[in-house]
């Protein structure tokens, strides 16, 4: 969980073991609280329908999680073979439940997407709100390019630098959310950007502790091992008063959607 600190703008390294633990703990609560992520999944699929052919025989989804994007992919495209991947192997049951008899061939690969082997000759690779956890983006794009057919597509969403800006302002800690330019630079030697969309939206809560609970229920409190002391919690609550409005206490999301085509 995030922890209050006097040092501002500290970027935390991605701890994949902690990431797996936190998202694993949020499997049963994620879908009920991930309103922004659900919205992102639908908008990403809708944008992809304007760019990709309807026939997508072979699809790989990285970071498939509890299936918000999986459901939209299956509804929107004609698929013969689907392969899902996630760091948390326990999500495989949800993945298979969504696919059921709707996809002729489907499989699940558990593990870190930067390490595990993926099948080749995919028509498209999808990833919803996952690449912020990738530690070596240029190498990752190289890897994905090797798995996509010539002129195939990479369809992804993530979050921009203003994501959780209230949390960063108070605690000084945060995930290193890359901006559009950094993502495009990392992908440029393998992919051409075909479509892009970004926006900001706020969720509102009755009190600051509800913000932290929301983050825990969606697994995104995966920055550090530190626990909250009573004093740190009191300081957090007091500091969050700076952002209070008549609607309550805001938490800002900064989603973006990107579709690349393999060069």
The whole-number average pLDDT for the span 242-258 is 97
Within 10 A of 150 (CB to CB), how many other CB atoms are there?
A: 8
Q: What is the pLDDT of residue 176?
A: 83
Task: Identify whether 30 is part of a domain.
Answer: yes
> Does the pLDDT value for residue 5 go beyond 50?
no
Task: Identify whether 1 is part of a domain.
Answer: no
Task: Identify whether 146 is part of a domain.
Answer: yes
Each residue's pLDDT tens digit, 98-131 = 998 899 899 999 999 999 999 999 999 999 999 9
* Range of the structural domain that residue 97 is part of: 10-262
Task: Identify whether 85 is part of a domain.
Answer: yes
pLDDT band with cut points at 50, 70 and 90 for residue 6: very low
Task: Identify whether 206 is part of a domain.
Answer: yes
Q: What is the pLDDT of residue 221?
A: 65
The whole-number average pLDDT for the span 75-97 is 95
> Does the pLDDT value for residue 173 go beyond 60?
yes
Copy the structure tokens of residue 54: 């309807």
Sign, CA dihedral 105-110-115-116, equals: negative
Task: Identify whether 3 is part of a domain.
Answer: no
Task: Identify whether 248 is part of a domain.
Answer: yes
Each residue's pLDDT tens digit, 219-241 = 876 555 556 788 989 999 999 99
Instruction: Confirm if 22 and 222 have CB atoms less than 8 A apart.
Output: yes
- Give the integer Cα–Cα distance in Å for 217 and 238: 23
- Give the integer Cα–Cα distance in Å for 263 and 261: 6
Within 10 A of 50 (CB to CB), how many other CB atoms are there?
A: 9
| CATH number of domain containing 138 | 3.40.50.150
Task: Identify whether 4 is part of a domain.
Answer: no
Q: Domain tally for the chain?
A: 1
Copy the structure tokens of residue 98: 């969504």
């Amino acid at each position: 969980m995030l922890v209050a600190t006097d040092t501002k703008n500290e970027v935390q390294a991605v701890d994949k073991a902690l990431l797996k633990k936190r998202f694993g703990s949020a499997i049963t609560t994620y879908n009920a609280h991930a309103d922004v992520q659900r919205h992102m999944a639908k908008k990403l699929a809708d944008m992809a329908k304007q760019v990709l052919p309807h026939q997508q025989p072979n699809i790989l989804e990285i970071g498939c999680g509890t299936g918000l994007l999986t459901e939209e992919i299956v509804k929107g495209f004609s698929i013969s073979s689907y392969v899902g991947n996630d760091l948390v192997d326990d999500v495989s049951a949800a993945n298979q439940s969504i696919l059921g008899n709707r996809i002729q061939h489907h499989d699940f690969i558990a593990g870190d997407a930067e390490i595990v082997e993926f099948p080749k000759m995919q028509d498209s690779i999808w990833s919803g709100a996952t690449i912020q956890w990738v530690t070596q983006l240029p190498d990752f794009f190289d890897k994905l390019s090797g798995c996509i057919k010539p002129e195939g597509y990479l369809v992804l969403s993530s979050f921009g630098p203003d994501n959780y800006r209230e949390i960063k302002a108070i605690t000084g800690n945060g995930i290193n959310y890359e901006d559009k330019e950094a993502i495009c630079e990392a992908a440029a030697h393998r992919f051409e950007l075909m479509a892009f969309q970004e926006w900001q939206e706020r969720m509102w809560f009755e009190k600051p502790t509800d913000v932290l609970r929301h983050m825990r229920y969606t697994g995104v409190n995966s920055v550090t091992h530190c626990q909250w002391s009573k004093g740190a919690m009191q300081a957090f609550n007091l500091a969050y008063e700076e952002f209070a409005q008549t609607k309550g206490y805001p938490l800002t999301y900064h989603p973006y959607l990107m579709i690349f085509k393999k060069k």
